[in-house]
């Protein structure tokens, strides 16, 4: 922006350019793990900060997983130390931390998975949307699909197989991919930023079983782990098979749109009146934002937003939006009709 400064009388103008929708900021990863020492939740921007705050533990704990996250391009890790095996408290301590896109931990226990799921949903319900990434101590398809079914949440993903000797590293790689990828629909095919060894090479049939069963599998073409598809663990609704939530991108796009709308409309709370004029302004602003998301390819289309005063509380304005999530293409089938 450049403003003309002169003593000469006249009318001058300037302009600045901005997009309708702000670019997705790179989010942090929340890490609940056992440290060598330390009890406070800390936002760390480097491995040196993690080691200074929590030391270097034996095994795959706080420092080891943080090191993998930073190596995978994560800019900030919010560390929540686990004390006396109390993972529920460590997850709860992350719930009010802003800008966390994904949460991982250093446990493969099903009870801890359940605690993470509860925490992730609780934080998301309060406007701190995030997903949880899990790992289990088995690369067998039956064990993985059973673990995914036990969690059964659109906000939870299970990564496999083990990479570089630990499925916890696989979870860390998937979490890094989620927070560093600008377009949630483009997660499939994203790779690790460094070479790695997968413990199990799945056949095409096994990959189909894993994906249909709610598991996000990796393979390593050329020695670099690559995400086949980002899948949530929710494959059923009310006991019936349901593909609506299978793609992890669905909840990520919904979160992106709704959090963007909240942020944009928050200014209307300052001195706003719940009258027709204000509601009309909210409706117009919402429509502009949705059009921006459509132009960016995040959503495929939307219904005209509706804004009305609540019938229960005259101080509440209810904004109703409807939009279609734009998912990426996972396959292209070529049908060739050849004449000889």
pLDDT tens-digit series, residues 153-204: 999 999 999 999 999 999 999 999 999 999 999 999 999 999 999 999 999 9
Same-domain check for residues 187 and 295: no
Same-domain check for residues 200 and 106: yes
Rg (CA), the chain: 23
10: in domain: no
In this prediction, residue 285 carries a pLDDT of 93
Same-domain check for residues 277 and 233: no
The domain total for the chain is 2
**Which position has the token pair 């409309």?**
265
- Name the token pair of 202: 């799945």
Among 36-45, 102-111, 240-249, which is the least confidently predicted range? 240-249
Helices marked H in the chain: 47-54, 62-71, 87-94, 110-125, 141-151, 167-180, 204-212, 248-265, 276-295
23: in domain: no
Mean pLDDT of the chain: 91
Closest CA to 324 of 270, 268, 249, 263: 249
40: in domain: yes
154: in domain: yes
Same-domain check for residues 158 and 294: no
**Which position has the token pair 């560093």?**
180
Per-residue pLDDT tens digits for 109-124: 999 999 999 999 999 9
Same-domain check for residues 244 and 277: no
Residue 238 clears pLDDT 90, i.e. is over it: no
Show the domain range for 329.
271-340
Same-domain check for residues 44 and 130: yes
pLDDT band at residue 6 under the 50/70/90 scheme: low
Rounded Cα gap, residues 235 and 105, in angstroms:
23
pLDDT band at residue 148 under the 50/70/90 scheme: very high
Rounded Cα gap, residues 320 and 308, in angstroms:
9
């Amino acid at each position: 922006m450049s403003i003309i400064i002169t003593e000469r009388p006249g009318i001058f103008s300037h302009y600045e350019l901005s997009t309708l929708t702000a670019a997705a900021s790179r989010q942090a990863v929340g890490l609940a793990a056992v440290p060598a020492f330390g009890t406070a939740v800390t936002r760390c921007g480097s491995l040196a900060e993690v080691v200074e705050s929590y030391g270097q533990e034996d095994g795959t704990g706080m420092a080891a997983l943080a090191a993998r996250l930073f190596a995978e391009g994560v800019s900030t890790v919010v560390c929540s130390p686990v004390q006396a095996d109390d993972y529920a408290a460590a997850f709860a301590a992350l719930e009010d931390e802003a800008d966390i896109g994904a949460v991982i931990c250093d446990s493969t226990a099903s009870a801890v998975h359940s605690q993470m799921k509860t925490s992730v949903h609780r934080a998301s319900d309060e406007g701190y949307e995030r997903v949880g990434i899990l790992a289990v101590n088995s690369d067998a398809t039956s064990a993985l699909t059973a673990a995914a079914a036990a969690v059964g949440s659109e906000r939870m993903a299970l990564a496999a197989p083990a990479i570089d000797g630990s499925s916890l590293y696989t979870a860390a790689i998937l979490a890094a991919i989620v927070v560093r990828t600008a377009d949630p629909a483009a997660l499939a095919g994203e790779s690790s930023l460094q070479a790695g060894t997968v413990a199990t090479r799945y056949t095409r049939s096994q990959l189909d079983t894993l994906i249909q069963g709610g598991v996000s599998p990796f393979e390593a073409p050329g020695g670099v782990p690559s995400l086949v598809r980002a899948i949530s663990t929710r494959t059923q609704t009310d006991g019936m098979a349901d593909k609506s939530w299978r793609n992890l991108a669905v909840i990520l796009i919904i979160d992106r749109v709704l959090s963007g709308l909240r942020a944009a409309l928050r200014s209307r709370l300052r001195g706003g009146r719940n009258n027709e004029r204000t509601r009309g302004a909210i409706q117009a602003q919402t429509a502009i934002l949705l059009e921006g998301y459509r132009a960016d390819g995040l959503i495929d289309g939307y219904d005209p937003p509706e804004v009305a005063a609540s019938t229960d509380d005259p101080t509440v304005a209810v904004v109703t939006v409807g939009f279609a999530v734009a998912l990426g293409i996972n396959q292209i089938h070529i049908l060739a009709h050849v004449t000889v």
